[in-house]
Amino acid sequence: LSLYSSPTRETKYVETPQTQLEEGVSHLRHVMEPYTAWCQQMLRLTLEWRTSLSSALSSDFFSEGYEFLQNPPAGFYPRLGVIGFAGIVGLFLARGSKIKKLVYPVSLMAVGASMYYPQQAVAIGKVAGTQLYDWSLQGYIAVESLWKDN
């Protein structure tokens, strides 16, 4: 037992009022919260993209391509220039429709590439011809089945 009696304490929590600066900072944080979340998400995506890009660049495909461009075969860059110039001429000639803007440059570049690389052009032509034949046959069968159903 205590000799002295302790007075009963009635405590009350009193919150200090916020200053105008604290209120302004709080309001700014609430307003900027979606943007900071978006920035954090972009930072995460950038870091993921950077790691995947660094792993892709360390792969053999890119290293072989880099070595090829460092030590190209004789006449590679002039051939590349002619093929690229053919594409630019195709863009110049393809005034009007968007289909022309797609078809003309690609076809002129293909013609330019086939002049310099005829064996590869023949191989690609054979594969493309086979695919085109298969697609036309499938289209013919589909049209025929629709015709017979009606």
103 inside domain: yes
50 inside domain: no
142 inside domain: yes
89 inside domain: no
107 inside domain: yes
pTM of the model: 0.48
The two three-digit tokens of residue 74, written as one number: 């004789």
The residue ranking higher by pLDDT, 94 or 55, is 94
Overall domain count for the chain: 1
The two three-digit tokens of residue 13, written as one number: 């929590």
Q: What is the pLDDT of residues 11-51, one digit of tens each?
A: 777 888 889 999 999 999 999 999 999 989 999 999 888 88
User: At 57, is the pLDDT very low, low, confident or very high (cuts 50, 70, 90)?
Assistant: low
Look up the domain containing 122 and give its range.
98-149
119 inside domain: yes
Is the separation of the CB atoms in 103 and 94 below 8 Å?
yes
129 inside domain: yes
Cα–Cα dist 89/109, whole Å: 9
Report the candidate in 62, 113, 61 with the shortest Cα–Cα distance to residue 87: 113
